[in-house]
């Protein structure tokens, strides 16, 4: 009514407009210039068209079953694809509520309090968040999260045993997984489900949860080399002022090469196993960096770990591990090598283990492996 402070009628508001027509846009016009995380080098600017955003929003709404009653808690940065195009924009386009929380900074209580007080119905996180929540003892007794419909996790692959801890702690909350890149956004996903992660056919052998199945509005296939290829309206136009990188990213048939390795089970679920550049080729054998990292992370003294390949005159490449120890723990490199040797083939055991206070990161969920290689090579 007119008694409300700051009241202005709708008619008065319309009369203040200029009457200028909005600019016409084409689905192929660039809407956003978004930069990649730059895990292997300098970040590249991705030219994202309007049609990509539209189809990505449709995919997110379809996958997560979003509606106007949903309350999404967003902790991921809005200058990356996950926070902006998988959570924020789809939530707002559906008429839901978006809660923004600054960096969690390793504090699970802060995250859980925000979910509880905000009555969030869903949350999108990465492996870091899953491990943080799963590792908090008896958190479910303090934070019941009764409003939560589902967790969604993307970015780096989530160890299946970590996910199952979440399922035990909060059995009423469904789980969703998704895969995408800045260039493709949401292209593979698993809708919210309460199915135990260990029941998926390759979860135990790959030690990870499935990313899901190909989404609508795109084509996804796995090449003979095991690389994920994507085509369709959710794919970007190219890299800003970088025609060489653009030409290298697409093949002659228009497929975008993601650089991610994956396998598919008999049910059609896709498991992302590593990055192409994380495959260490040593003496004719292939070593997945993530496989070695998962063994290291199973050690009770290790808080974080990353493995990179460095040139070797005899073998071509050899693995080097960077390890962050938990507070109060002391370990010798040879002890950790012996631990790895008891769980890995001999050629997969790191030649060297380097202790660091923290791992350099490019974004919330990716280790800056290029920076680690420079530490070893000294350039």
What SS3 string covers the chain?
CCCCCCCCCHHHHHHCCCCCCCCCCCCCCEEEEEECCCCCCCCCEEEEEHHHHHHHHHHHHHHHCCCCCCEEEECCCCCCHHHHHHHHHHHHHCCCEEEECCCCCCCHHHHHHHHHHCCCCEEEECHHHHHHHHCCCCHHHHCCCCCCCEEEECCCCCCHHHHHHHHHHCCCCEEEEEECCCCCCCCEEEEEECCCHHHCCCHHHHCCCCCEEECCCCEEEECCCCEEEEECCCCCCEECCCHHHHHHHECCCCCEEEEEEEEECCCCCEEEEEEHHHEEEECCEEEEHHHHHHHHHCCCCEEEEEEEEEEECCCEEEEEEEEEECCCCCCCHHHHHHHHHCCCCHHHCCCEEEECCCCCECCCCCECHHHHHHHHHCC
Where residue 379 falls among pLDDT bands split at 50, 70, 90? low
Mean pLDDT of 196-215: 91
Phi–psi pair at 207, nearest 5 degrees: 65, 30
State the pLDDT at residue 364.
Answer: 60
The answer as to whether 23 is a domain residue is no
Q: Across-strand partners of 302? A: 325
Cβ(68)–Cβ(96) under 8 Å?
Answer: yes
Residues 294 and 269 in one domain: no
Residues 161 and 259 in one domain: yes
Mean pLDDT of 231-255: 97
Where residue 246 falls among pLDDT bands split at 50, 70, 90? very high
Where residue 363 falls among pLDDT bands split at 50, 70, 90? low
Residues 289 and 270 in one domain: no
The answer as to whether 302 is a domain residue is yes
Q: Is the pLDDT of residue 82 over 60?
A: yes
Q: Cα–chain-centroid distance for residue 262?
A: 15
The answer as to whether 3 is a domain residue is no
- Residue 299 is part of a domain; what is its CATH number? 3.30.300.30
Mean pLDDT of 26-45: 87
- Residue 38 is part of a domain; what is its CATH number? 3.40.50.12780
Residues 267 and 302 in one domain: no
Residues 213 and 309 in one domain: no
Residues 308 and 354 in one domain: yes
Radius of gyration of the chain from its Cα atoms, rounded to whole angstroms: 23
Tokens 């071509």 locate to: 316
State the pLDDT at residue 1.
Answer: 47
Where residue 42 falls among pLDDT bands split at 50, 70, 90? confident
pLDDT in tens, 263-293: 999 999 999 988 887 889 898 788 988 889 9
Mean pLDDT of 21-34: 92
pLDDT in tens, 303-336: 999 999 988 888 888 999 999 999 999 999 999 9
Q: Domain boundary residue among 275, 306, 328? A: 275
Residues 163 and 58 in one domain: yes
pLDDT in tens, 132-179: 899 899 999 999 999 999 999 998 778 888 899 999 999 999 999 999
Q: Domain boundary residue among 275, 302, 320? A: 275
The answer as to whether 15 is a domain residue is no
Mean pLDDT of 52-66: 95
Q: Across-strand partners of 168? A: none
Q: Is the pLDDT of residue 10 over 90?
A: no
The answer as to whether 20 is a domain residue is no
Q: Domain boundary residue among 275, 297, 323? A: 275
The answer as to whether 19 is a domain residue is no
Mean pLDDT of 40-66: 92
Where residue 3 falls among pLDDT bands split at 50, 70, 90? low
Both structure tokens of 58: 């449709």
Q: Which of 174, 138, 171, 183 is nearest to 153 (CA)?
A: 174
Q: Is the pLDDT of residue 2 over 60?
A: no
Residues 88 and 161 in one domain: yes
Q: Which of 303, 302, 313, 275 is nearest to 291 (CA)?
A: 275
Q: Give the dihedral sign, CA 142/146/148/150.
A: positive
Q: Across-strand partners of 46? A: 34, 239
| Global pTM value | 0.78
Residues 127 and 143 in one domain: yes
Choose the weakest-confidence range: 51-55, 87-91, 225-229, 278-282.
Answer: 278-282
State the pLDDT at residue 368.
Answer: 82
Residues 288 and 317 in one domain: yes
The answer as to whether 6 is a domain residue is no
pLDDT in tens, 88-132: 999 999 999 999 998 777 789 999 999 999 999 999 998 889 988
Determine the structural domain holding residue 305 and report its residue range.
283-377
State the pLDDT at residue 238.
Answer: 98
Residues 93 and 140 in one domain: yes
Q: Look at the chain and report how many structural domains it folds into.
A: 2
Q: Are strands 188-193 and 174-179 parallel, antiparallel or unpaired?
A: antiparallel
Q: Is the pLDDT of residue 39 over 70?
A: no
Where residue 367 falls among pLDDT bands split at 50, 70, 90? confident
The answer as to whether 2 is a domain residue is no
Q: How many CA atoms lie within 13 A of 117 on its CB side?
A: 9
Residues 315 and 229 in one domain: no
């Amino acid at each position: 009514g007119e008694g409300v402070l700051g009241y202005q009628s709708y008619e008065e508001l319309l009369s203040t407009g200029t009457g200028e027509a909005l600019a016409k846009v084409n689905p192929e016009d660039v809407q956003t210039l978004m930069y990649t995380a730059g895990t292997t080098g300098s970040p590249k600017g991705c030219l994202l068209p309007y049609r990509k955003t539209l189809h990505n929003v449709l995919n997110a709404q379809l996958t997560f079953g979003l509606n106007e009653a949903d309350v999404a808690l967003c902790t991921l940065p809005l200058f990356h694809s996950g926070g902006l195009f998988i959570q924020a924009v789809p939530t707002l386009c559906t008429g839901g509520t978006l809660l923004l929380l600054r960096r969690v900074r390793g504090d699970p209580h802060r995250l859980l309090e925000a979910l509880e007080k905000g009555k969030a119905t869903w949350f999108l996180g990465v492996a870091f968040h899953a491990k943080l929540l799963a590792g908090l003892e008896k958190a479910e007794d303090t934070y019941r999260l009764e409003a939560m419909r589902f967790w969604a996790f993307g970015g780096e692959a989530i160890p299946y045993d970590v996910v199952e801890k979440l399922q035990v702690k909060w059995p009423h909350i469904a789980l969703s997984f998704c895969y995408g890149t800045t260039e493709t956004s949401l292209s593979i996903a698993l809708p919210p489900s309460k199915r135990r992660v260990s029941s998926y056919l390759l979860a135990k052998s790959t030690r990870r949860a499935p990313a899901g199945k190909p989404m609508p509005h795109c084509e996804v296939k796995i090449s003979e080399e095991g690389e994920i290829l994507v085509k369709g309206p959710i794919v970007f136009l190219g890299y800003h002022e970088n025609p060489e990188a653009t030409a290298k990213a697409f093949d002659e048939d228009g497929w975008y090469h993601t650089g991610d390795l994956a396998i598919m089970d008999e049910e059609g679920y896709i498991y992302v196993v590593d990055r192409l550049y994380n495959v260490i080729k040593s003496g004719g054998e292939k070593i997945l960096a993530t496989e070695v990292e998962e063994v290291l992370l199973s050690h009770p003294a290790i808080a974080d770990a990353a493995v990179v390949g460095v040139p070797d005159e005899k073998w071509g490449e050899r693995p080097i591990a960077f390890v962050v120890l938990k507070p109060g723990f002391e370990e010798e490199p040879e002890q950790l090598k012996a631990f790895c040797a008891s769980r890995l083939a001999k050629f997969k055991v790191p030649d060297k283990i380097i202790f660091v206070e923290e791992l350099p990161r490019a974004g919330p969920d990716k280790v800056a492996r290029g920076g680690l290689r420079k530490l070893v090579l000294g350039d």
